A and B are shown apart, each in its own frame.
Chain A
Amino acid sequence: MQTNEAKKSNESNFLMKIVKNQCFIPLAALLLLALFNLIADPSFFKITLGYNSAGNPVLSGFLVTILDSGSELAILAIGMTLVTAATGGQDISVGAAIAISGSVLLRVLCGSNSRPETLQAPIIVAFLVSCVVAMLFGAFNGVLVAYFKIQPMIATLILYTAGRSIAAWINNNELPVISDTTFTYFGEFIPGIPIPTPFFIAVACMILIGIVLKVTNLRLFTQAVGINESSSRLNGLNPAFIKVLSFVILGLCVAVVGLIKVSRISTINYSVIAKDIEMDAILAVALGGNALSGGKFNMAASIIGAYVIQFLTTTLYKFQVQSDALPAYKAMVVIMLVVVSAPVVREKFSSLTKKLKVKEVA
């Protein structure tokens, strides 16, 4: 009898642990969405192997799309999570910054000719230049926030407004086109590998941030600054530096996504590229159950959150929701998810389960 009861309580403890884990809500949302699709139309999960125009084997299907597009969001979510944690605010200039970094990338690749026969610089060089530029713009945002104490949303509103014009200006308002097919590898497929490259890039970013969080104090310091700036300073930290650092890391993420975005179409459309992506990135952070007011964060939950959002978008596309109406549907689902994963609700929920448990014991 005794052991039976002990086992039962062990089991419920285990269950509680899962439920209380920050990744639970985004994972559950993912599962629910999958379940919904399974019931509504199992063909959602169909993956077919075909050949693209270049004759390479490629996988296609809704799941592949999610893996593909969700990866961009996941990369941005990494940076956005850090900015949110350190500053208690969000960067809304991400989309505009992607336009800038993509434009820089093309400018370096094309040189003065907007339609070159051959690349004017190695892709890696162009990418590094775009990284530096994106990180500088990140630092610009960071300095406004950390040293001039401007609200992050207001500070980044500047770049949000000006970014796309700056992007156009970098290329004299021309639309450069890359004809070299190797450039398409980053946003599409590497010959012989049927899985979209962005997914590999995202995985690389995740591993990288995982290592950084493991071998440095980024997590502890960022959280400390986000929770109590004054106390952090008296513990020898430089809160302003940590904040700028978070924006610079986000800048790096922006450059990576810029590469993917531009590579996908081998050109750029300044006004459309990565439009509204900042909102999805912020949503990913919120969906991950991270407080948008800063402090503690869970990186994995944010990343899962990014894929949930893409899953949702793709599901809506699949059911042929009109593209005009898409945001409204999305908003409805997102509101539900965000409310459920809000710390307030989570607390209520865990106290409820505790009460139930107490009653059970009684």
Chain B
Amino acid sequence: MENNVVLKMRNIHKIFPGVRALQGVDFTLRKGEIHALMGENGAGKSTLIKVLTGVYGKEEGEIFLDGVEGAVAIHSPQDAQKLGISTVYQEITLCPNLSVAENMFIGRTDGVYQNWKKMNADTDRILKSLDIPAKPTQQLESCSIAVQQMIAIARAVDMDCKVLILDEPTSSLDEQEVAKLFKLMRDLRERGVGIIFVTHFLDQVYEVCDRITVMRDGKLVGEYAISDLPRVQLVSKMLGKELDDLSDIKGEQKAYVKEDGAVPVLEVEGLVSDAGIKPFDFHIDKGEVNGFTGLLGSGRSECVRAIFGADRVTGGTVKIKGKNVKISKPLDAMKNGIAYLPEDRKIDGIVGDLSVRDNIILAKQVLRGFFKPFSKAEANKIADEYIKLLSIKTASKDTPIKSLSGGNQQKVILARWLFTHPEYLILDEPTRGIDVGTKIDIQKLVLKLASEGMSVTFISSELDEMLRTCSRLVVMRDRKVVGELTGDDLNQNKVMSTIAGGDK
């Protein structure tokens, strides 16, 4: 093994039913570097990581580790852990009903005997050294998603790893937490740990990484030093084509103008739910795209969930086209032409074991009622239509949705709601954890739907995405609406200062 190299993967092949997920991929990680693994959804990043960590077997190829003679065999995550490969996945894979300390040490002791006192003390020391605001005895569930994520990282770090894999660790962290994580990553780099960093945030890659490996369609595109690869080139390599769609889309939205006399598609007053938001007012006109913005936990999602009846509504009035309606459960909202793409795709969106076809027809099927099922032929036709319309990448319409990549799962959920032909579409973080290409697809689709008369509320953690698509932004802070921006005010600085509030 060459000097400094801590991990070498050579000619990795992996086949899923109907899909060649990896085709002869090479990957090299050196000591003390942060190495970004980039690629669109379905490029094979996650698959490569899962092969490396023993979650999946591989059809072909070899893996070499520093200090180990010959190719290593990794058949299970336990094997990987023993070899010093630790992972923090995109979705938190800890046990929510165990304590923080138990989560830190679960699966790491072979013996029957467990020294609880020492375990809690050790956990406390680790948490303090990493500045994580959690107590060892606290139940993991009671921590925020961000803290849970950091605990997962702390767990991996504590296992003396040589290779640390961070798979989309920042997608649910706010800026300060990201900064903390980066500090931690740099510390680990100093200590000689090799870090594989999978992310969709280009800024973060250029902020913290030393090297980039780009993958596309299950193949290796290349490995580059960060200084040799400007952003534009990175994007074009990921997409496999020169693309200036990003600039194309800019400025397409019109400034929001309140038309006199026009009845809003939806108008709510003093709406409040049991999810802990303050009562808020909100309205949306026909063909308008607006959005809720604010920091993580500011109550963006809770607002739209209240509108859709996903949380229990405890007060306020809702008017659809000027008519008072009562929305106490999602079905009421659906019957009033509202569709809601939820924030958490895995928990609230997909029905994992069901086929792509069944996932597409589900919402419409519920609307049609218990006694009016689509025939198999109808369902197939619908599925084909939407798979083509949204260019969903799937082996077939019978494939269980859980075996699709994240971006394609999201497209299926989108297809599900488009098929209900809503007048008002709520998209809560539709682009989280999905690739640049699909992101642009979705943004374009939103604008196209709006131009056809659909009203859309768009929520995203990425501000520039919101600025590109929305003509009006409702700003939230601490579970309260604190402002509404439109026209010239719709710029990064103004939004930031409104979010921050007051003097900033």
Residues of A in contact with B (beta carbons under 8 Å apart): 214-218, 220-221, 223-224, 227-228, 230-238, 295-296
CA distance A230 to B361 in the complex (A): 17
Residues in B whose Cβ lies below 8 Å from that of A232: 351
Known: A215-B373, A216-B371, A227-B352. 8 other contacts (CB 8 A): A216-B370, A220-B373, A223-B351, A223-B353, A224-B351, A224-B362, A231-B351, A234-B310
Determine which of A215, A218, A228, A235 lies in contact with B352 in the assembled complex, contact meaning CB atoms within 8 Å: A228
Q: Would you call B331 an interface residue if the criterion is a C-beta within 8 Å of the partner chain's C-beta atoms? A: yes
The CA of A295 and the CA of B355, in the complex, are separated in Å by 12
Determine whether the beta carbon of B371 is less than 8 Å from that of A228.
Answer: no
Which residue in B353, B365, B416 is a CB contact (below 8 Å) of A227?
A: B353
Q: Do the beta carbons of A231 and B373 come within 8 Å of each other? A: no
Q: A220-B365, A296-B353 are in contact. Are A234 and B348 (CB under 8 A)?
A: yes
Given A215-B371, A217-B370, A220-B362: A234 and B351 interface contact (C-beta under 8 Å): no
Which residue among A220, A231, A233 has the maximum number of chain B CB atoms within 10 Å of its CB? A231
Roughly how many angstroms separate A216 CA and B369 CA in the complex, as a whole number?
9
A-B contact pairs, 25 of them (CB 8 A): A214-B373, A215-B371, A217-B366, A217-B371, A221-B366, A227-B352, A227-B353, A227-B354, A231-B348, A231-B350, A232-B351, A233-B310, A233-B329, A234-B310, A234-B342, A235-B330, A235-B362, A235-B363, A235-B366, A235-B416, A236-B329, A236-B331, A236-B334, A296-B353, A296-B354
Q: Report A338 CB to chain B, min CB distance, Å.
A: 20
List B contacts of A221 (CB < 8 A).
366, 370
B-side contacts of A220, CB under 8 Å:
354, 358, 361-362, 365, 373
Bound CA–CA A224/B373 (angstroms): 14
How many whole Å from B115's CB to the nearest CB in chain A? 32
Residues of chain A within 8 A (CB-CB) of B351 are: 223-224, 227-228, 231-232
Complex Cα spacing A237 to B308, Å:
14
Interface residues of B in 346-389 (CB under 8 A from A): 347-354, 358, 361-363, 365-367, 369-373
Distance of A214 Cα from B331 Cα, bound (Å): 23
A224 CB contact (under 8 Å) in B330, B340, B354: B354
| Min distance, Cβ B491 to any Cβ of chain A, angstroms | 34
Q: Which residues of B lie under 8 Å from residue A235 when comparing CB positions?
A: 330, 362-363, 366, 416
* Chain B residues whose C-beta falls within 8 Å of the C-beta of A215 in the assembled complex: 371, 373
Nearest B residue to A241 via CB reads B370
The answer for the CA separation of A295 and B350 in the assembled complex, in Å, is 13
Contact A234 B340 (CB under 8 A): yes
- Bound form: Cα–Cα A214–B371 in Å: 10
Instruction: Establish whether residues B365 and A217, one from each chain, have CB atoms under 8 Å apart when the complex forms.
Output: yes
Minimum CB–CB distance from A48 to chain B (whole Å) comes to: 45
Min CB gap B155→A, angstroms:
26
- Inside 8 A of A228's CB, which chain B residues have their CB? 347, 350-352
The answer for the CA separation of A231 and B330 in the assembled complex, in Å, is 11
CB distance from B468 to the nearest CB of A (A): 27
CB-based nearest A residue for B341? A234
Closest residue of chain B to A218, judged by CB? B370
A218 to B365, CA, bound (A): 11
Partner of A223, one of B329, B334, B354: B354
Cα distance A312–B59 in the bound complex, in angstroms:
41
Residue of A nearest to B358 (CB): A220
Hey, what's the 0/1 contact readout for B302-325 against A, CB within 8 Å counting as 1? Answer: 000000101000000000000000
Residue of B329, B348, B373 touching A230 (CB-CB under 8 A): B348
Provide the residues of chain A in CB contact with B367, threshold 8 Å.
236
User: Bound state CA distance, A332 and B342, in angstroms?
Assistant: 47
Closest to B366 in A: A236
Please tell me the number of chain B residues within 8 Å of chain A, measured between CB atoms. 29
Chain A residues whose CB sits within 8 angstroms of the CB of B370 once the complex forms: 216-218, 221
Interchain CA distance A295-B352 in the complex, whole Å: 10
Cα of A234 to Cα of B343 in the assembled complex, Å = 12
Residues of B within 8 A of A236 (CB): 329-331, 334, 363, 366-367
In whole Å, how far is A41's beta carbon from the nearest beta carbon of chain B?
A: 43
* In the complex, residue of chain A having the shortest beta-carbon distance to the beta carbon of B334: A236
Q: Which of A233, A234, A235 has the most CB of B within 10 A?
A: A235
How near does chain A come to B354, taking the closest CB pair, in angstroms? 6
Please, which residues of chain A bring their CB within 8 A of the CB of B349? Answer: 231, 234
Find chain A residues with CB under 8 A from B416 CB. Answer: 235
The reply to whether A233 and B350 form a contact with Cβ atoms under 8 Å apart is no
- Taken together as a complex, chains A and B put the C-alpha atoms of A165 and B390 apart, in Å, by 60
Closest Cβ of chain B: how far from A98's Cβ, in Å? 28
Q: What chain B residues lie within 8 Å of A214 (beta carbons)?
A: 373
Q: A220-B373, A230-B348, A231-B348 are in contact. Are A237 and B366 (CB under 8 A)?
A: yes
Residues in A whose Cβ lies below 8 Å from that of B350: 228, 231
Please report the C-alpha to C-alpha distance between residue A238 and residue B416 in the assembled complex, in whole angstroms.
18
Q: Which of A230, A234, A295, A296 has the most CB of B within 10 A?
A: A234
Chain B residue nearest in CB terms to A295: B353
In the complex, which of the residues B342, B354, B373 contacts A217, with contact meaning CB atoms closer than 8 Å?
B373
Query: How far apart sit A234 and B308, CA to CA, in the bound complex (Å)?
Result: 9
Q: How far is the CB of B336 from chain A (nearest CB, A)?
A: 11
| 10 nearest A-B residue pairs (beta carbon) | A236-B331, A236-B366, A228-B351, A235-B363, A217-B373, A236-B334, A227-B353, A227-B351, A224-B351, A236-B330
From A224, A230, A237, contact of B347 by CB (8 A): A230
Using CB atoms, name the residue of chain A closest to B355.
Answer: A296
When distances are taken between beta carbons in the complex, the residues of chain A under 8 Å from B331 are 236-238
Residue contact A233 to B330, C-beta cutoff 8 Å: yes
Provide the bound-state CA to CA distance between A216 and B370, in Å: 6
Q: Which residue of A lies closest to B362 (CB)?
A: A235
Contacts of B361 in A (CB 8 A): 220
CB of A233, distance to nearest CB on chain B (Å): 6
A230–B351 alpha-carbon span in the complex (Å) = 9
A20: min CB distance to chain B, Å = 11
User: Least Cβ distance of B21 to chain A in Å?
Assistant: 14
Measured CA separation A290–B442 after assembly (Å): 38
B150 CB to nearest A CB, Å: 25
Residues of B within 8 A of A296 (CB): 353-354
Q: How far is the CB of B329 from chain A (nearest CB, A)?
A: 8
Q: Give the chain A neighbours of B329 by CB distance below 8 A.
A: 233, 236, 238
Separation of A82 and B76 alpha carbons in the complex (Å):
35
Which of A223, A236, A295 is most buried by chain B, counting CB atoms within 10 A of its CB?
Answer: A236
Q: How far is the CA of A220 from the CA of B372 in the complex (A)?
A: 12
**Min CB distance, B176 to chain A, in Å?**
30
Docked pose: A7 CA to B469 CA in angstroms: 54
Determine the chain B residues whose CB is within 8 A of the CB of A224 once the complex forms: 351, 354, 358, 362
Q: From A214, which residue of chain B is reached at the shortest CB distance? A: B373
In the bound complex, CA of A217 to CA of B367 (Å): 11
State A215–B361 Cα separation when bound (angstroms).
Answer: 16
Residues of B within 8 A of A237 (CB): 331, 366
A61 to chain B, nearest CB (A): 40
Give the docked Cα–Cα distance between A99 and B379 (Å). 43
Q: How far is the CB of B465 from chain A (nearest CB, A)?
A: 23
Minimum CB–CB distance from A209 to chain B (whole Å) comes to 15
Q: How far is the CA of A228 from the CA of B369 in the complex (A)?
A: 19
CA distance A142 to B257 in the complex (A): 53
A230 — which chain B residues lie within 8 A by C-beta? Answer: 347-348
Across the interface, name the chain B residue whose C-beta is closest to A355: B59
Write out the residue numbers on chain B whose beta carbons fall within 8 Å of the beta carbon of A233.
310, 329-330
By beta carbon, the residue of chain A nearest B17 is A354
